[in-house]
């Protein structure tokens, strides 16, 4: 019998082993008399023992921590009807417990539950959790590796574009001076021709 299958059912005494779940309830087996029954979820609530936490003067602790402390202490279990004896017992077993928020009824339940678990030879421990987040963390860098490669390709494409743009900008600056140089050469030729014709006409008139 595994600890992670042990549940407490509101309105029912003792502890139960969860055999199967249904949409409207669950089939459970009592750890006290070993009877099997169907419990409706419309009437009762189920609480897995490994999900129960206990108030302390610091952070909350799992019920397993309290049960293990009870197991390791070697102290004799108190009478569950004696509230003073219950508080004195847990003050020795787990002195960090917050007795202002953990009531005598809670202490009584823990003593009863511990007795039932020991009588049924249930090993008190949380279920093992597989290290799935570590595997995902290792796979993440592999998925991100191609990103820098894409950035390099994009940079390589941009460089030739910049070179072409600069070459296109230099061409007009070299051609403009060539277009302006021939203009002053043509103007002196047109101005000298009329000056040479005028003296010829004047000489012809004197002979006549």
pLDDT digits over 41-54, tens only?
Answer: 999 999 999 999 99
16: left (phi over 0), alpha (psi -120 to 50) or beta: beta
Q: How many CB atoms lie within 10 A of CB 87?
A: 15
Class of 1-51 in CATH = mainly beta
Q: What's the pLDDT at 133?
A: 52
| Predicted confidence (pLDDT) per residue in 6-41, tens digit | 999 999 999 999 999 989 999 999 999 999 999 999
Predicted confidence band of residue 199 (pLDDT cuts 50, 70, 90): very low
**Nearest-angstrom CA–CA distance, 162 and 160:** 5
Residue 11 and residue 134: Cα distance in Å, rounded? 41
Give me the mean pLDDT over the 54-78 stretch. 95
pTM of the model: 0.61
The H or E element that residue 71 is part of is: helix 63-73
Please say if the pLDDT value at position 146 is more than 90.
Answer: no
Asked if residue 16 lies in contact with residue 7, where contact means CB atoms within 8 angstroms, the answer is yes
Query: 111-123, pLDDT tens digit by residue?
Result: 999 999 999 999 9
């Amino acid at each position: 019998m595994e600890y992670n299958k042990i549940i407490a059912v509101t309105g029912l005494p003792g502890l139960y082993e969860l055999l199967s779940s249904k949409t409207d309830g669950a089939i459970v087996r009592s750890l006290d008399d070993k009877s099997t029954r169907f419990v409706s979820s419309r009437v009762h609530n189920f609480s897995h023992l490994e999900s129960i936490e206990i108030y302390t003067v610091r952070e909350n602790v799992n019920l397993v921590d309290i049960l293990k402390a009870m197991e390791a202490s070697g102290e004799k279990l108190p009478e569950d009807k004696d509230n003073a004896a219950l508080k004195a017992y847990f003050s020795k077993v787990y002195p960090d417990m917050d007795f202002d928020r953990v009531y005598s009824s809670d202490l009584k339940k823990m003593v009863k539950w511990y007795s039932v678990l020991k009588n049924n030879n249930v090993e008190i421990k949380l279920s093992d959790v597989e290290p799935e987040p570590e595997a995902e963390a290792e796979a993440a860098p592999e998925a991100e590796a191609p990103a820098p490669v894409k950035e390099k390709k994009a940079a390589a494409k941009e460089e030739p574009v910049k070179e072409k743009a600069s070459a296109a900008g230099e061409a007009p600056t070299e051609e403009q001076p060539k277009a302006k140089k021939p203009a002053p050469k043509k103007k002196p030729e047109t101005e000298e021709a009329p000056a040479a014709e005028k003296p010829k006409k004047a000489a012809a008139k004197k002979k006549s």
